[in-house]
Chain A
Amino acid sequence: MPAIVVAVIVIILPLLFPSAYYYRIGVLVFIFALAVVGLNLLMGFAGQVSLGHAGFLGIGAYSVAIGPIHFGAPSWLCLFAGAILSGALAFLVGRPILRLKGHNLAVATLGLGLLVAIVLTNEAGWTGGPDGMSVPGLVLFDWSVRGAYIWYWIAGTTFVGGFVLALNLMGSPTGRALQAIHDSEIGALVLGIDVARKKLTIFIISAMYASVAGSYLALFNGYITPDAAGFLRSIELVAMVVLGGMGSIVGSLVGAAVLVVLPQALTIFHEYEQALLGLIVMVFMIFLRQGIVPSIVAAFAGRRK
């Protein structure tokens, strides 16, 4: 059901778009929403914080930049390679990192994100350093994919796909195990759940979501800088998860939409843009404590009684 609703939204939304600029915003919303769905699987469902998720976003982004330029590989192949690379990195660092809990885990993942950002900044020969590098456009079967209009459909379709996979996962034994881990690790353990392995699995999946989103972002913008992997981007992703609603897959779309669209809408306030954005996010969190979507759902459920 939610999957159909979201698919319909993706299809109908362009009818309300007066210009190509709106398609561009739509693309960004879907790309970020994809990364946020992945992060929400990790944070909202399994209860494991990551403050370094932009690191995986950066790996995905630079894969589609470095691959075609330095190795002449096709972009789509580099997108997959980036996702595999992100998954492999998550696998390698996941075991030791995911033993940590709460603040310790948050700081460790923060370190991971910073590490990736620093490597991307320093390896100027490969990445162009702090100034970034341009990204060759996506070419599929001799067809050059460019423009906000076509990217809207690519990003929208991919988002719906990622959305459906996430919903499937949560309705499966793996998903139930992850939610159990969130509430009581010891309770999950004594029911036969391999807690360490489940956490690692979701960390890898979550990293791959971010990586694909990063590749899309780079291909769509045609340019990438190490900021994509930076600390602020990580925080932004976490804010999108929390704002939309921890553990709500629909909330991931809403959280991404609010934090992508609001800054655009607030540009009329010029230098007060950032301050207003902060204020609005604060007000949201004060009045919709569980995040936008879960709070609204709870309000409706309450009224029906």
Chain B
Amino acid sequence: MMILEADRLSITFGGVRALDGVSIAIESGQVFSIIGPNGSGKTTLFNLVSGIYTPNDGSIRFAGEMVTGLPPDQLARRGLSRTFQNLQIFSRMSVLENAMVGRHRHERTGILADLLHLPSVARQNKATREAAHDTLARVGLADAGKRPAGSLAYGALKRLEIARALASDPKLLLLDEPAAGCNPVETQEIDYVIRSIVEDGITIVLVEHDMRLVMNISDRVHVLANGRTLTEGTPEQVRSNTAVIQAYLGVHGSKEAVRAFD
């Protein structure tokens, strides 16, 4: 079953066509990676799919339902969750509370019940807290629950954001450069977390520069260049595609391409 189908998406910012007729189709249970040189439109594609931008052209189906133009919160309530390249942590809240907010789409809220702290609210809070704690444990933050989120180190914040998105039990998880800006140790920790999520069978769309990770865990790799689809295929197919190598060599330097080869 296709969980996400984006058909010929285009968007223009001030005359610049940031994305031009890009189509992707993601099967349930897959790890689908989007790669491409800087400025090729990866994050733009994420922002379109998660409802932050509305496409000028094209359509998006999520879980069989037409969702083009729906705002992010409605998509999230349907089970589409994402992380951000530049963190969007609730820094004044505790680590545990951050993960609890992730449970929001599963919580029933009524303003009167919340004001009066009815027994149903207390019961639900307990369930939310436990579920949030379990997700923190999955990313290695179980002991940090009470700390203010703002006090965590950068790599831990990256993992917290993944945990928060995971806490919502998404049908589809979009990870936008989860290891960007991390040192080698932090990158390894995040790789480990991503692999464990993959093992659980959650459908993931991944934007990542770490080619070793991408080639290792992806079922499909979609390559963007200058806002257009360059190619799509299995990691092996993409690895040996000359157009891909050229795109990277031309724009991004040789380093990335060399890593793609090993």
Q: B-contacting residues of A (Cβ < 8 Å)?
A: 165, 168-169, 171-177, 179-180, 182-184, 186-195, 201, 205, 247
Contact = CB atoms under 8 A, between A and B. Distances in A.
Contact of B168 (A169, A187, A192, A195): A192
A190 B76 contact: yes
B254 interface: no
A150 to B, nearest CB: 27
Ranked nearest first, the 8 interchain pairs of A and B with the lowest CB-CB distance are: A187-B88, A172-B114, A192-B76, A192-B105, A168-B117, A183-B90, A184-B88, A189-B72
Contact of B109 (A165, A172, A195): A172
7 contacts: A168-B116, A172-B121, A173-B108, A180-B90, A187-B89, A191-B164, A192-B76
**Majority secondary structure, A binding face:** helix
A172 B125 contact: yes
Contacts of A173: 104, 107-109, 114, 121, 124-125, 128
B114 A175 contact: yes
Given A190-B73, A192-B74, 5 more contacts: A188-B73, A190-B75, A191-B76, A191-B105, A193-B104
Contacts of B102: 191
B249 interface: no
A183 B89 contact: yes
A191 B168 contact: yes
A186 B88 contact: yes
- Most chain A Cβ neighbours within 10 Å, of B75, B92, B101, B168: B101
A168 B120 CA distance: 13
B167 to A, nearest CB: 8
Interface of B: 50, 52, 71-77, 81-82, 84, 88-93, 97, 100-102, 104-105, 107-109, 111, 113-117, 121, 124-125, 128, 164-165, 168
Nearest to A185: B88
Among A179, A183, A188, A205: residue with most chain B CB under 10 A: A183
Contact of B117 (A172, A177, A184, A194): A172
B73 A192 contact: yes
Contacts of A169: 114-115
Contact of A176 (B75, B77, B97): B97
B101 A177 contact: yes
Contact of A192 (B77, B91, B97, B121): B77
A179 B92 CA distance: 8
A190 B72 contact: yes
A186 B71 CA distance: 11
Contact of B73 (A176, A195, A205): A195
B114 A168 contact: yes
Nearest to A188: B101
Nearest to B93: A179
Nearest to B92: A183
A177 B106 CA distance: 13
Contact of A201 (B52, B93, B111, B168): B111
